[in-house]
Structure 1
Amino acid sequence: MAGLLRRVGRALLVHRSPSRRWYPDVWDLPGGHVRPGEQPSRALERELEEELGVTVTVAGQPFADVHAVDYRLSVWVIDQWEGEPVNRAPHEHDAVAWFGRADVGTLRLADRHVAELVRSALAVTGVP
């Protein structure tokens, strides 16, 4: 599962470290894996605290579900959180940055769906 944090027409992405085994050296949405017995929404709250140092409450249904050959990803849009997002997982990510709708097309992304998700989520806010 992943969180698409958005603020004033921009979305937060994390850059996966070049040393990562899976999807190295690409921009991606923050998130992670669901532990056995853990609800996906609770897992996302935990992962965002661990990776970004922000406290969120995930409610409702995911904004999108992505099904690929080797993974399934549920994505929630997060508009409110406590704390300022920072990279608290330098072993996983080497950068954290905000991007607008036009920016995501210029990035090397973990999956083509990331650009579509960001554009779609930011279009809902009405900010170009």
Structure 2
Amino acid sequence: MDEEIIGPGVRLPDMAPDEVWVVGAVVLDADGRAFVQFRGPGRRLFPSTWDVVGGHVEDGETVVRALRREIAEETGWALRRVVHDLGTSAWDAGDGIVRHSADFVVEVDGDLSRPVLEWDKHPRFAWVGVDDLPLLMENRAPDDTAVHDVVARALRRRPG
């Protein structure tokens, strides 16, 4: 079932059972802008910063199932297709836990003008293009460019 929605050339990571994995989904609109949401000030990790849709891969989940769940939970949209992989990375948020991230450009079904956010976790959202990328550095340290860089890669992968 997962294989049916994976675009040609998309590489999914091999996840070792002892690793902590996070998925990120970049949704592009018809104008080629990327959807981002602002993390609320009460969030444990990266409060008051911009982020893409995503979260932890739960025990027993595949990457695609985690993408499907996170997209539905955070936006109300439904994953239609995984279009491009944007690479993987490993990072520590300062809590001693090494997380492995896998980011993707995805297509979704649903009204892109009306995401159903988890308002307590993400009080606002934006659609950003190349000229808007500096917004993603709001409240981030100058060397914390991960979200900025993922969105920039997604915008370069835009069809057309």
Partner of 1:49: 72
Range moving further from structure 2, 32-41 or 53-62: 53-62
Give unpaired runs (5+ residues) of structure 1. none
Note if 1:64 corresponds to 2:87: yes
Deviation at 1:109, TM superposition (A): 6.3
Deviation at 1:68, TM superposition (A): 1.6
Q: Is the 8 A contact 1:55 1:83 kept in 2?
A: yes
TM-score for both structures, normalised by structure 1: 0.86
Partner of 2:131: 102
Identity of aligned pairs, percent?
Answer: 29
Q: Is the 8 A contact 1:41 1:58 kept in 2?
A: no
Is the alpha carbon distance of 1:58 and 1:41 closer, same or farther for their aligned partners in structure 2, counting shifts above 3 Å?
farther
Distance 2:74 2:84 in 1: 22
The alignment of Structure 1 onto Structure 2 pairs a total of residues equal to: 126
Aligned partner (choices 118, 121, 125) of residue 154 of structure 2 = 121
Deviation at 1:122, TM superposition (A): 1.0
TM-score for both structures, normalised by structure 2: 0.70
Q: Which amino acid aligns with 1:115?
A: H
Is the alpha carbon distance of 1:20 and 1:106 closer, same or farther for their aligned partners in structure 2, counting shifts above 3 Å?
same
Note if 1:73 corresponds to 2:95: no
User: 3-state DSSP class of the match of 2:147?
Assistant: helix
What is the alpha-carbon root mean square deviation over aligned residues?
Answer: 2.1
Partner of 1:24: 47
Bigger Rg, structure 1 or 2? 2
Q: Is the 8 A contact 2:84 2:105 kept in 1?
A: no
Give unpaired runs (5+ residues) of structure 2. 1-22, 93-97
Deviation at 1:4, TM superposition (A): 0.6
